Amino acid sequence: MENIKAAIESAQTALGIEFGSTRIKAVLIGKNHEPLASGSFDWENTYDNGVWTYPLEQVWEGLQSAFVALKKNVFEKYGVKLTSVGALGISGMMHGYLAFDKNGNQLAPFRTWRNTITAKAAEELSELFGFNIPQRWSIAHLYQAILNGEEHVKDVDFIATLAAYVHWKLTGNKVIGVGEASGMFPIDSNTNDYDAKMLEQFGEKVAEYPWNINEILPKVLVAGENAGTLTEEGALLLDPTGEFKAGIPLCPPEGDAGTGMVATNSVAVRTGNVSAGTSIFLMVVLEKALSKLYPEIDMVTTPAGKPVAMVHCNNCSGEIDAWAGMFTSMCKALGMEISIYKVLDKIFESALAGDKDCGGLVAYNYLSGEVITGLDSGKPMFFRGPDSKFTLENFSRAQLCSAAATLSIGMEILADEDVKIDRILGHGGYFKAPVAGQKIMGAALNAPVSVMKTAGEGGPWGVAILAEYMVSKAENEALDEYLENKVFAGQDSTEVTPDADDIAGFKAFLDNYKKGLAAEKAAVEAF
């Protein structure tokens, strides 16, 4: 305890802050990379005028609230005030579109990764580059705004992701980590910068505009580089009390995909990780490039710039959370005050007792569209037949299987490409309950899934590690070496291997799921 107090008071710590889809979380780590304290703020995107968005005012409200909660947690646990740290890192949900003019004014509502409103732009750019440009990517949003004839485009001076925006306001630097940058514009892993040829192709495509694409994108940095220091203005944005000191070095801002890779020690070749929360994605660090372009597969990078194949699905646990909320309301109506987290634990626990094929029940968790299954928007649905076994256990298992179903469909492409994965590590809310998430995800991917004890900390812990790596790495020490030898050496993990019945049961569920997609598509069209 005394050592921890001394480390906090002498700023021998690192702080990671991540803007997730449903929570802004701050995690403070010590010299041995262990989490010391945390604070969070819950938020949720809104669907406003056809766009999934968050108001930027809430970004700062949430950041300050999470930081206040962190300071309180530090004082309650250790009896000391948090006034400084040794290094700081910002992370956020990848992709999306934030546009600003030369005076720093926001030009359009924040368009998050969740939007599926850039189909034409994504298609045209994919054809132009010969490289898959998903709808979520920043460049797709910019080009779609051009195709739409939006007035604000002519005034664009800077475009950013959420993490790059927050970092800019804290430091004054318009920079971005290479992993996060790979969700804005294609990256050349030989140079760890935006692909020069594609920048030129895009510039020719939009030559009539007064800006240059090279100048409005943030500068790309790799893990370990210094990305600036916390300014006096930035320190007050973080902590309006003025107690937190300026001058702290920041690592390059990264996306939740990159910090998830760090948090699961999945930055080396042939490692993979599944991040499962509001959205779900599988990332595999590749030995070689895929044989062709796949619209279902994103090509991104690790925070160190290594090429990664990413299967991304917009929907995961949102529908599970919605049902848990309804069950919690029922409990309240019956006079029982039960936490939604306890209800969620029971849903996951019940799923383990369900029939392997979910008793013939089928659920669709599509709160928004999915490229992999050809949906521009979503409508959550639940099916059962008169002969289905409609029990809590089967219902719960169907919801968990639904959360993994679209990812399983996308994974079939990587299997056909003979992509080798030595290990898969899971993190995010889907894996917080013991065993259930791992077992069903393992059945969906036909592979063992491991979860480390730090997986619950996820991205904010991962970006704190990146901040610490920046200030304490040895000369020429690669990120994967640092993680393997200094962060995860001796780290406990739990591996769950699906049995043959789990795999066969999930396959039966997925067969029904694929058959029912026609009804899901019809529902989207009808409503």
Tokens of 22: 């449903």
**What is the DSSP code (8-state) at residue 289?**
-
Give the total residue count for the chain: 527
Lowest-confidence region among 35-39, 114-118, 204-208: 114-118
- Once rounded to an integer, what is the mean pLDDT over residues 200-204? 97
Pairing outcome for strands 254-255 and 87-92: parallel
Dump the DSSP string for 379-396. Answer: --EEE--TTS---HHHHH
User: Hunting for tokens 């169907």 — which residue is that?
Assistant: 398
Residue 437 has pLDDT above 60, yes or no: yes
Give residue-wise pLDDT tens across range 325-379.
999 999 999 999 999 999 999 999 999 999 999 999 999 999 999 989 999 889 9
Better-predicted residue by pLDDT, 108 or 292: 108
Give residue-wise pLDDT tens across range 130-143.
999 999 999 999 99
Judged by phi (left if over 0) then psi (alpha if -120 to 50, else beta), residue 389 lies in beta
Dump the DSSP string for 19-57. Answer: E-SSEEEEEEE-TTS-EEEEEEEE---EEETTEEE--HH
Pairing outcome for strands 449-452 and 493-496: antiparallel
Tokens of 507: 């396959």
Mapped onto helix, strand or coil, the DSSP state of residue 301 is: strand
CB 271 within 8 A of CB 423: yes
Percent of the chain whose predicted confidence (pLDDT) is above 70 = 99
Residues 6+ apart with CB under 8 A from 291: 417
CATH number of 1-85: 3.30.420
Judged by phi (left if over 0) then psi (alpha if -120 to 50, else beta), residue 217 lies in beta
Write out the CATH class of domain 92-237+247-252. Answer: alpha beta
- Once rounded to an integer, what is the mean pLDDT over residues 413-417? 89
Residue 457 has pLDDT above 80, yes or no: no
The closest alpha carbon to 446, from 398, 406, 498, 409, belongs to 498
Q: 340-352 and 436-445 helices cross at what angle (nearest 10)?
A: 50
Residue 455 pLDDT: 55
Residue 341 pLDDT: 94
Quick one: pLDDT band at residue 456, thresholds 50, 70, 90? low
Residue 72 pLDDT: 98
Give residue-wise pLDDT tens across range 57-89.
999 999 999 999 999 999 999 999 999 999 999
CB 251 within 8 A of CB 89: yes
Give residue-wise pLDDT tens across range 466-485.
999 999 999 999 999 999 99
Chain mean pLDDT for the chain: 94
Contacts 24+ apart (CB under 8 A), 74-82: 74/8, 74/28, 74/36, 74/37, 77/36, 77/37, 78/1, 78/4, 78/5, 78/8, 78/36, 78/37, 79/5, 80/5, 80/8, 80/9, 81/243, 82/8, 82/28, 82/37, 82/244
Give residue-wise pLDDT tens across range 227-259.
999 999 999 999 999 999 999 999 999 999 899
Residue 283 has pLDDT above 70, yes or no: yes
User: Hunting for tokens 């898959």 — which residue is that?
Assistant: 132
Q: What share of the chain is helix, strand, coil (3-state, %, to 5)?
A: 40, 20, 40
Residue 278 pLDDT: 86
Angstrom distance (rounded) from CA 444 to CA 30: 36
φ, ψ of residue 251 in degrees (nearest 5): -80, 165
Radius of gyration of the CA atoms of the chain, in A? 22
Percent of the chain whose predicted confidence (pLDDT) is above 90 = 80
Residue 458 pLDDT: 75
**What is the DSSP code (8-state) at residue 146?**
H
User: Hunting for tokens 């000369």 — which residue is that?
Assistant: 475
Residue 165 has pLDDT above 70, yes or no: yes
Residue 454 pLDDT: 59
Residue 291 pLDDT: 84
Furthest CA-CA distance within the chain: 66
Mapped onto helix, strand or coil, the DSSP state of residue 297 is: strand
Quick one: pLDDT band at residue 427, thresholds 50, 70, 90? confident
The closest alpha carbon to 438, from 494, 397, 385, 476, belongs to 494
The closest alpha carbon to 279, from 45, 39, 80, belongs to 45
Mapped onto helix, strand or coil, the DSSP state of residue 314 is: coil
Tokens of 244: 């937190």
Residue 492 has pLDDT above 70, yes or no: yes
Q: What does the domain layout of the chain look like in residue ranges?
A: 1-85, 92-237+247-252, 255-527
Pairing outcome for strands 493-496 and 297-301: unpaired
Quick one: pLDDT band at residue 116, thresholds 50, 70, 90? confident
φ, ψ of residue 47 in degrees (nearest 5): -105, 100
Mapped onto helix, strand or coil, the DSSP state of residue 273 is: strand
CATH 3.30.420.40 assigned to domain 255-527? The reply is yes
Better-predicted residue by pLDDT, 28 or 459: 28
